[in-house]
A and B are shown apart, each in its own frame.
Chain A
Amino acid sequence: MSLLDIAGLTVKFGTDADPFIAVDDVDLAIDEGEIVGIVGESGSGKTVMALSLLGLIDFPGRVTARRMNFAGHDLRGIGNRERREVVGKDIAMIFQDPLSSLDPCYTVAHQLMEALAVHGTPRERASRAARRARALELLQQVEIPDAEARLNAYPHQLSGGMAQRVMIAMAISCQPRLLIADEPTTALDVTVQAQVLDLLLRLQRERAMALVLITHDLAIVAETVHRVIVMYAGQQMETGPLPEVFETPAHPYTQALLAALPENNRDHARLRAIPGVVPGAHDRPTGCLLSPRCRYAVARCHRQELGLMGPPGRGARCHFRLDAQGHPTGNWQAERSAGAAVPT
């Protein structure tokens, strides 16, 4: 049984009459010790999805799901108190901007020790000295130089990379079984990005944590992740194991994302960017949400919506699933020429 098992997760904002669906019917299953990547453009609902797992979507947002289990607990309709016990200890999250994720008013030691006082071992809960020793040990585990001196530092005295290491130390302090990293390296410069990512992966391996890596950096995903979910406008467009998804994408969106990578554009004068932007709250197209931006779109795409199709664990939300050569399959050729003959 999976550690985290979610089916039909939907997050809505706004009124019932005119809802904005930020996350639309997403399925997600994560096993112990697995690394799952969630990729997509800005505004595709990645962060909202993560927050909804933690019960952090406030009114007027509404979270519904057919199934939402974490380690045997049903997270739907769970009370605040119980949720704090389950989630606070076993799920941890790291955010994009490390400097704003640390409370500017308290020292690093104070912030590390705060969570230990509630979720730590009995010895740590009882003794301040034990918590402090543990905090120091955590800072050493995340490879902060001169950890002893950094214990008494305030967040504004840390560099971005160091602050992100402190965030990681805080996240692993309670031995979580699932770590959600929301764009953990986006705000850091490139050399530090690699170090922080290596650190995350080492900790994941050592502790056999499940890791959800949310990012828009496909290169990070390609190097690290076991399984990937490609999201667009709140829907999962494609899901499957790596490197299969990146080698033979089944969805035009994944294909276009990969084609837009600078390293795949060496021979082109211009970057092959995807035209247009992610649809906002009030300009959702009918049919497939990608249809206005998809190079393969035909009349049926603009008309008919569809769910994830294909074998379990390797689904794609497309009428004309791409084949191994990257060409649309099914009836595409015929429908394309029919559309060209009768322009609508």
Chain B
Amino acid sequence: MAELASPAIATGAPPGRFTEFWHSYAQSRGALIGLALVVMLVLLAIFANVVSPHPPNEQYRDFTLAPPAWDEGGTSRFLLGTDPVGRDILSRLIHGTRLSLLIGVISVAISLGLGIVLGLTAGFFRGLIETVIMRVMDVMLALPSLLLAIAVVAILGPGLINAMYAIAIVLLPHYVRLTRAAVIAEAGREYVTSSRIAGAGALRLMFSTILPNCAAPLIVQATLGFSNAILDAAALGFLGLGAQPPTPEWGSMLSSALEFIERAPWVVTFPGLAILITVLAFNLMGDGLRDALDPRLKR
């Protein structure tokens, strides 16, 4: 009924793709909250230098392990307190947003790109090439993800960039399988045949005809994979295999403050909360996207 009232219908023109998408996305409150949080995180990351009250690596030796502002003995200079060497936790968290989002973007982009190419190839050409690709992916899926990531980092050497590669490799099989399944389902449809009759070649069929029709599950998986990447990066950082000190990465912040958990709980609480909120935001957004884009859940 709401659609009948929309101005797009009244003018006779069919509603655009985006209008329709937004209409179903906005129906879920969780998705909207997730989107708002994600927008906020992105803004924080972009304007980290402006927003954060202190430089992330500046050590205030007189204020080591200062409690948060509302606690007894806290000071409004350090809203969320300081860490064992006197760095402002709030500033470090804000700068950490940058790293976390960067890790998410880069590792998801790598695995999505590779996954689409491999999955399209497997699903479009079938036969031997499909068997080879899919069995390799099965082997990768058989290993626990963190173990595989640790193994990759062990080979490449610790560091933030290598952690991203490791996470991309861990996430890859999901995209390959998803793409292949979607491609196989679409490749048999008649519009693909009619495109072939009109003279489209293999590359055009793969990337221009079939791929856009497989986009919905891939977008959802990419969003959910984003939170996985952040979580894995934090785990690698916690184990000392990801970002190296003094980089303000959430996972390494957690691990360097572990010994103070009894005396100064805020040092571990806030990085943990930051990870939790970010992961939750992306999961909420991913679920909302799935509800809006997945045709099987529609109507």
Contacts and interface: CB of A to CB of B under 8 A. Distances in A.
A134 to B, nearest CB: 15
A101 B194 contact: yes
Contacts of A92: 197-198
B201 A84 contact: yes
Contact of A87 (B17, B199, B212): B199
Question: Max chain A CB contacts within 10 Å: which of B12, B193, B194, B215?
Answer: B194
Interface string A97-114: 100111111100000001
B14 A115 contact: no
Interface string A62-100: 000000000000000000100011011101110111001
B191 A153 contact: no
Interface residues of A, number: 35
Nearest to A103: B191
Contacts, number: 67
A146 B14 CA distance: 12
Question: Max chain B CB contacts within 10 Å: which of A91, A101, A167, A174?
Answer: A101
Nearest to A85: B199
Contacts of A88: 197-199
Contacts of A103: 191, 195, 209, 212-213
A92 B213 CA distance: 23
B197 A119 contact: no
B12 A149 contact: yes
Contacts of B201: 80, 84
B193 A118 contact: no
A219 to B, nearest CB: 24
Interface string B207-220: 00100110100000
B9 to A, nearest CB: 11
Contact of A54 (B191, B197, B209, B213): B197
A146 B197 contact: no
A220 to B, nearest CB: 20
Interface string B247-260: 00000000000000
B14 A100 contact: no
B196 A105 contact: no
Interface in A173-230: 174
A80 B199 CA distance: 9
Nearest to B196: A56
Contacts of B189: 100
Contacts of B193: 51, 56, 93, 95, 101
Contacts of A87: 197, 199
A146 B12 contact: yes
Interface in B195-239: 195-199, 201, 209, 212-213, 215
A102 B209 CA distance: 10
B14 A154 contact: yes
B199 A119 contact: yes
A152 B13 CA distance: 8
Contacts of B72: none
B14 A152 contact: yes
Contacts of A154: 14, 17
B190 interface: yes
A157 B14 contact: yes
Question: Max chain B CB contacts within 10 Å: which of A104, A105, A119?
Answer: A105
Interface string A35-56: 0000000000000000100101
A104 B14 contact: no
B203 to A, nearest CB: 12
8 contacts: A84-B201, A92-B198, A93-B193, A95-B190, A101-B190, A105-B213, A157-B14, A174-B198
Interface of A: 51, 54, 56, 80, 84-85, 87-89, 91-93, 95-97, 100-106, 114-115, 118-119, 146, 149, 152-154, 157, 167, 170, 174
Given A101-B191, A105-B212, 15 more contacts: A51-B193, A54-B197, A89-B199, A91-B197, A92-B198, A95-B190, A95-B193, A100-B191, A103-B191, A103-B209, A114-B198, A115-B198, A115-B199, A157-B14, A170-B198
